[in-house]
Each structure stands twice: as C-alpha cells, then as structure tokens.
Amino acid sequence: MHAFWKLTVTELKLFVREPLAVFFILAFPLILLWLNGSQFGNEVDQLVPGYVALVLATVGLTQLPGVLATYRERGILRRLATTPVPPATVLGAQLVVYLIAGAVGVALLLVAATVFYDLALPRATAAAGLVYVAGALAMCALGFIVAALAPNARTANAIGFVVYFPMIFLCGAVIPRDALAASMRRIGEVLPLGPVVTGLDDAWSGAGLDLTALVALAVMVAVASVVGARVFRWE
C-alpha cells in the first residue's frame, strides 16, 4: 500500500506539470461555462450536467491513454513490470490520479457555476453521485482499452481525440441535446458518453436515478475492464 500511494503522489506531481492536461481538464470546462453562461445564464442548469460529463470524457479518452502509451513506448512499463510493484498498482495509481484530476475539474466547474450563474445543485444528489462515479470509471476503462491497443503515444492520442470530439457534441456534453437534430440525438444516446449525460440530466432535473443509464455504465465498466486487462501490453 505504501508503494501505491508513493507512486500515486509521484504521478500527481507529473500531472500538474503537463499544461495541456491541466488546461483540458480544469480550464476548458470553465471557458465553455463562461462563453455559454454569459449568453444563456438562465439555462446554466441545463448546461452544467453536460460539462461534468465532458470532464469525465476528457480524463478518460484524451489524457489517460496517452500517458500509459507513452510509458510503454519509453519502456517505463516494462521496467516497472520487473520490480516488486504489482502491475495493478501501476495502473491503479494512474486511475486514482485521473479520478482526482476529474474531481477537481468538476468541483471548480460547480463552484464557478454556483457563484457566477446561480447554479442549482442536483435535486437527486445521490443519483448524480452514482452516475458520476460510474461514468468516471467507464470513461477510464475505455481509456485503458485505447492505451492497450495503440502502438505508440501519438496513435493513442489520435484515437482518443477522434472518439472524443464527435462524442461530446453528439451526446450533448457541449451543446444541449434539445439543440440537436433528432437523428443526432439518437446517435448520441447510444455512444458511451450518452448514459452519463442522460443520468446527470435526470439527477439535476429531479427525475431521479435513471436505472437504464446506470446499468449501461455498469456493463460498460465491466466489459471494458475485462477487455482492457486481456489486451493490455507492458511492452
């Protein structure tokens, strides 16, 4: 356990030294909030659930895969695999680091939206928490698969962003679903980020826990974790 936390602290220090990672996770959602909140301040309650989902997708698909693929490409994972530190400790430390980063990004977003745009917190708080945790794990599990399949860091980053950008727009993470065409909404609903946006929207509006969305995320976590564990390569 000591090795796990020591590795986690080291990875956190490395994370804060990456300006792009810090920007996309911590600053990008705030910029979107400022741009759209200034124009649609009375609708910020409809925007923020999507922005929370955006943070989770950013963590899992644009940051985590590139780091792991870089470590493998540079031989860091191979060297770690020969040490007494179990492989699960290495991957677990990465997961904790990016879950912390995502939580900080969401916290900054909620504080800014509350202070400047009078955001109402989720009416179904417990439901929002469950969907958030399931969504964070699902996005990170997908990120592990990308990292496992990509031959190098450049490819991992490319795959992550190719999946990320269409998904955040189609799923309503950037543009509210009501503003999308019906055909695009249907596509977004079946993409991995779709259940996250749906579940958070329902929690914020007071509709309660969307069991379909939660089950979809739980299945996604289970399947992606198994696939990721099977295909992950240390070198």
Give the tens place of pLDDT for each residue, 26-78.
999 999 999 887 776 667 888 999 999 999 999 999 999 998 888 888 887 77
**Residue-range domain boundaries for the chain:** 2-231
- Amino acid 217 reads L
Q: What CA–CA distance (Å, rounded) separates 46 from 205?
A: 8
How confident is the model over 207-235, as pLDDT tens digits? 888 999 999 999 999 999 889 888 877 77
Residue 130, pLDDT above cutoff 80: yes
Using 50, 70 and 90 to split pLDDT, how confident is the model at 106? very high
pTM of the full predicted structure?
Answer: 0.92
Buried b (16+ CB within 10 A) or exposed e, 21-45: bbebbbebbbebbeebbeeeeeebb
